[in-house]
Chain A
Amino acid sequence: MPDWSLVSLSVLFGLTARWAVSLNSYSGAGKAPMFGDYEAQRHWQEVTYNLPVEEWYFNTSDNNLLYWGLDYPPLTAYHSLLCAHIAQLINPDWISLHTSRGYESISHKLYMRATVVAADLIVYIPAVLLYSLYFSEGSSKKQVSTMLCMLLYPGLILIDYGHFHVCFPQHWNTYNCVSLGFALWGVLGLALGWDLCGSLAFCLALNYKQMELYHALPFFCYLLGKCTRKGLTGKGLTHLLKIAGTVAASFVLCWLPFLADPAQALQVLRRLFPVDRGLFEDKVANTWCSLSVLVKVRNLLLPQTQLRLSFAATLLAVLPSCIKLFVHPSVRGFKLALVTCSLGFFLFSFQVHEKSILLAALPVCLLISEIPFISTWFLQVTTFSMLPLLLKDGLLLPYIVTSLAFLLISITLLSALEQTSEEDLKLKQLFARRRKHMPRFNAPLLAKSGYVLSVLCMAVLSFLSAALSPPARLPDLFPVAISLFSYVHFVGFLIYFNSIHLTEISSKKTQKKTN
C-alpha cells in the first residue's frame, strides 16, 4: 500500500517543477516576431475554430498552409478545436481569423501554459502514477521514488513547458505529454493484459502525433506474438480479429470527418508525411548527422536513395528486437523492444529532430526501477543532447537546475550508482555465455567510472557551449560536439538494450514454465 501523502507530494513536486520551468520562458517575452511553436499552436486553434473541417488541411484563401499549416493527425486538430472553444469564452481576440496572427500577451501565454498543464494532468501524470505504483519493482517507497523520477525527467518538462520561442519548420509541438501519455496508457493496457484497451490507447497516441510510429512495431509484434502463441487458428485468431477491429474502429472514429472524400484523407496523409525535407535538419545526434562530419551523405546521394538507405538501416536496427519480441512476447521484452525500436528509429530514420529522442526516453523511464543505473544515465544524455535547442530558447538555467535535480534524485533516492553489478545491469546472461572468451574485468567499477566520466564531460561541454563563443571558422563546433558525444552514447545504449533483450531467452522460458 503506497503512502498517499507521499504520492500526492510527488505529483505536486512534478507540477511545481513544470510550472516553475514555464515561468522561465516568460523572460523572453516581447521578442517579436515570435513565430514558433507557440504561434503554431495558436494558429491551429484559430484555423480549427473558424474553418469547416474540410478546409483544415487544405490550402485555401483562409488557410495558408505555408503559415504554420496543420501537419498533425486529426486528434491534435480536435484538441486545438477544444482549446479554441475555451479560448473563445475567455477572449475571442486570441483566435479571430487572420487578425490574431502573431498575437501575444501575458494572459494568452498563461492560457496556453494552462492547456499544457491540463493535458499533462489528464493524460500523462495519471499514467505515470499507475505505472509506477503497480508495475515498478521494489517497496512502496521505491515506487514513489520511481514515480518522482519519472515525473521530474527534465527532457519532457523542458520541451513541453520551456520551449516556446524558437522557429523550426519541424514536426513537433509542445503537447508531447499527450501523445507520450497515450502511449504510456497503451503500455499499461498491455501490461495489465487488457490488450484491447492498450491498442485503443496506442491508436489515440498515433492519431495525436504520427511520431508515435516509432513505438508502433513493438506494439504490433507483441500483440501478434501473443496471438500466435494462443494458436493462430482458435483463440488467437479471434483475439487478433478483436484487436484488429478495435484498431480499425478507433482509426475510423478519429478520421471520420475526413473519410467521406478520399481526397481529404490523402491530403491529410500528405500533410503528415512530407518527405521533401531532407535527411536531417540542424544538429541531431543520429547516424546521418554524425556521419556528415566525415561524409556529406546529403549531397552525395539522391533524396530517393537517402530515403531508401535510411529505411533499410532503420529496419536492420529494429528487426532483431522485433523478431525476438514476436517469438517470445513478454511484458518486459515489450518494454525493452520499445526502447530499442524507438532508439533505432531515432538513430537511423529519415528526417529526425532532436526532440524525437523523447520517444526513446519514455520507454527508458519505464525501466527506471529495473535498471536505474543505465536508465538514469540514458535520460541524462537525452536531456543533454537537446542542449543546443534549449540554449536557443534561453533555457540554460532551467536546464542546469532540472538536470542537477534529476542527478540528485537518481543518485540519492534510486541509489543508481550503487546498482552497477552484473546482476543489476542484467548482463549476467550475456556474460555467462561469453565468459571463456572474455578477460575478467570489474564491471561495477568500469560502469561507475564511465558514468562519472560521461557526466563530467556533459558538464564541461554544457559549460563550454554556454559560456564561450565558438571560433569563427567552426561556428557549429559545440552543437556538433554535443551531438557526436550523445550519438556515441546512444549507439552504446542501443547495443546494450538490444543485447539484454536478446539474451534473456532462458530466464523467460523458465519463468513461463513455472507460471
Chain B
Amino acid sequence: MAALTAVSWSWFLTLAIGLSLLKCLLITTYHSTDFEVHRNWLAITHSLPVSQWYYEATSEWTLDYPPLFAWFEYGLSHIAKYFDKEMLVIQHLNHASPATVLFQRLSVILTDIVFIYAVRECCRCVNGRKESKELLEEPVFILAVLLLWNFGLLIIDHIHFQYNGFLFGFLLLSVARLLQNRHLEGALAFAVLLNLKHIYLYVAPAYGIYLLRSYCFTKSVPDGSVKWSSFSFTRLVALGTIVCSVFAVSFGPFIAMGQLPQVLSRLFPFKRGLCHAYWAPNFWALYNAVDKALSILGLKLKLLDADGASKASMTGGLVQEFRHTVLPSVSPLTTFVCTLVSITPAVLCLWRKPQGPRGFLRCLIICALGSFMFGWHVHEKAILIAILPLSLMAVDNQRDAGIFIILTTTGHLSLFPLIFTAPEQPIKILLMLLFTIYSLASLQRLFRKEGSLLSWLEAVYLTGLVPLEVFCEVVYPLTSWQQTLPFLPLLLTSVYCALGVTYSFFKLYLSMLTEPEGMQKRKDQ
C-alpha cells in the first residue's frame, strides 16, 4: 500500500504542477470586475478597522462575503503590500497595475493548493476496484484529472477571476473527510467553508441531516430506519461545539459590536432580480422562455394587448426585476418554496434510508442542483457546486458517469458567456474541448464493459450543442438579428442547456430514490 501511494504521488504531483503552469500562462488574460471586487476587499480589510469592514461603501463592490473570507483577504493584503502598495488604497478604484495583476493571479494559483490537497484526499476515497496496469485507466487518475482540470474552475478562477478553487478545496475536503468517516473534521471544514462564502448554504441541509442521522445516531434498525435509542449526546455536543466555535470566531466580533444586522444585510441582498444578467440554465430560464414564447404567440393571435405586454427585454444585461407577461411573476418567496420542495424528498430519503457516505454525496449534489434549478438570482457559476462532487460519483458507476457527462457539458457550456472578449475565445473553446473529450473518452473506457454511457437521444442532444455554439459565435454576429434580438444567443444557450441540466437533475433524483434496492442487493451478496 505504501509503495502504491508513493507511486501515485508522483503522477498526481505532475498533474498538479502542469496545471499550475497552465494557470500561470493565463495570468495576462482578461479579468472581469470580480478582479476589482477582490482588490477593493483587499484595500478595505487592509486599511480599515474591523468595525468598518461591512460599512465601507466607497466602491460599489462592497464586502459581501462572510467574515472569514474578509480575514482571508486581510491576510493576503499583508503580502500584497510587497507587490504594490497602491492596490491597498480604497480610493484607487479599478487599479490594475501589472504588479497588482500578478499578485492577485498568483494568490489564486497558490491558494489552489487547498484544492489540490482536497482532490488528493478525495482520490484516496476511490476504491480501486478496476484492477488495471494502465495508470490512465485507473479511476483514481481519471478522478484527479476531472477535478483538477475542471474547465469551469479553470476559466472562472484563472480568467474571469475568483477564489473558487480555494473554496471548493474546503468543500471537497469536507466531503472526503465524511467519506473517510472522519465526521468531525468534515463538519469543521464545512463550517469554515460556510464562513468563507455563504452560497454553500445551499448544500447545508445535506450536511445537517447526514451528520445528525449517521453520526449522532450510532445505529439503525435493520430495515434502515432510525433507531432512536442509539442517539449519542456526546457526539452531538462535539459536533455542535465545533460548528458553533467556527461561527463564533467568524461572526462573534461583529455580534459583539452589534453589527450583525448590517453584516447580514450585506450577505443577503434581496434587491436583485430573478435571473442573473446571463441566465443560468435552470428552471426559471425555461419558465422565462415559455413566457416569452406565449407572449409572442399571444400578440400574434391578438389575445394579448400589445401595450399591456411588458416591453422590458429580459436580458438587457442588467440585473433588474422582470415582470412576466403571461405566466405569473415569481417572487423570492416562491423560489424559496420551490427550492425547499425540490430538495425535501432527497433530504428525507437521506434521513430515512441512509446509504452511508455515498448516499450523502448524492443528496449533496441534489441539494446543489435543486437550489441551482429553483433558486433566486442564481449565478451560472453555481453549477460547479454540483459538478465537482458529481465527479466523485462519475468514476464510481456507469449510470452516474452518464449523468456527469450531460451535466458537465451543458453546465460548462453555459459558462461560455462569462468569457466574451475576442482574444480569449480560442482558449475557452480549446479548454472546453480538452475537458469534454477527456471526460468522455476516459469514462467511456473505464466503463467499456458496461456499454455506452449515453443513450442515442442524449448523444444527439449533446451533439446539438455544437451547431448551437457555432450559430451563437459565428453565424449570429453576421446576421442582422444582432440589432433586433440582442439577447438571442444567451437565450438559446441557456434554454438549450437548461434542458440538459433539468434532465440530469431528474435522472439523479431517480437514481437516489431507486438506489436502495440496488444497495441492498449488493449488501446481500
Contact = CB atoms under 8 A, between A and B. Distances in A.
B13 to A, nearest CB: 9
Contacts of A106: 422-423
Contact of B21 (A6, A27, A404): A404
B437 A23 contact: no
A19 B434 CA distance: 14
A401 B422 contact: no
Contacts of B10: 412
B438 A23 contact: no
Interface in A1-19: 3, 5-6, 8-9, 12-13, 15-17, 19
B14 A20 contact: no
A136 B423 CA distance: 35
B426 A19 contact: yes
B424 A8 contact: no
A34 B170 CA distance: 47
Contacts of B427: 16, 19-20, 23
A110 interface: yes
Interface in B17-32: 17-18, 21-22, 24-29
Interface string A8-45: 11001101110111011011000000000000000000
A405 B25 CA distance: 11
Contacts of A400: 24
A397 B27 CA distance: 9
A99 interface: no
A398 interface: yes
B430 A107 contact: no
B333 interface: no
A408 interface: yes
A350 to B, nearest CB: 37
A400 B20 CA distance: 12
A408 B27 CA distance: 20
Interface in B421-480: 422-424, 426-427, 430-431, 433-434, 437-438, 440-442
In terms of DSSP, what is the predominant structure of the interface of chain B? helix
In terms of DSSP, what is the predominant structure of the interface of chain A? helix
Contact of B438 (A5, A107, A401): A5
A400 B25 CA distance: 10
Nearest to A20: B25
B462 to A, nearest CB: 16
Contacts of A141: 136
B28 A27 contact: yes
Contacts, number: 77
Contact of B25 (A107, A398, A408, A412): A398
A306 B27 CA distance: 46
Contacts of A9: 434, 437-438
Nearest to A4: B441
B434 to A, nearest CB: 5
Nearest to B27: A397
A15 B431 CA distance: 10
Contacts of A24: 25, 28
A391 to B, nearest CB: 15
B361 to A, nearest CB: 27
Contacts of A13: 434
A95 B431 CA distance: 33
B423 A401 contact: no
A151 to B, nearest CB: 13
Contacts of B438: 5, 9
B437 A408 contact: no
A219 B423 CA distance: 40
Given A23-B28, A397-B27, A401-B21, A110 B423 contact: yes
5 contacts: A5-B438, A16-B427, A20-B22, A106-B423, A409-B18
Given A15-B430, A405-B22, 12 more contacts: A5-B437, A9-B437, A12-B434, A16-B430, A16-B431, A19-B427, A20-B22, A20-B427, A23-B424, A27-B28, A106-B423, A408-B18
Q: Which 3 A-B pairs have the closest CB atoms?
A: A5-B441, A20-B25, A16-B430
Interface of A: 3, 5-6, 8-9, 12-13, 15-17, 19-21, 23-24, 26-27, 106-107, 110, 117, 141, 397-398, 400-402, 404-405, 408-409, 412
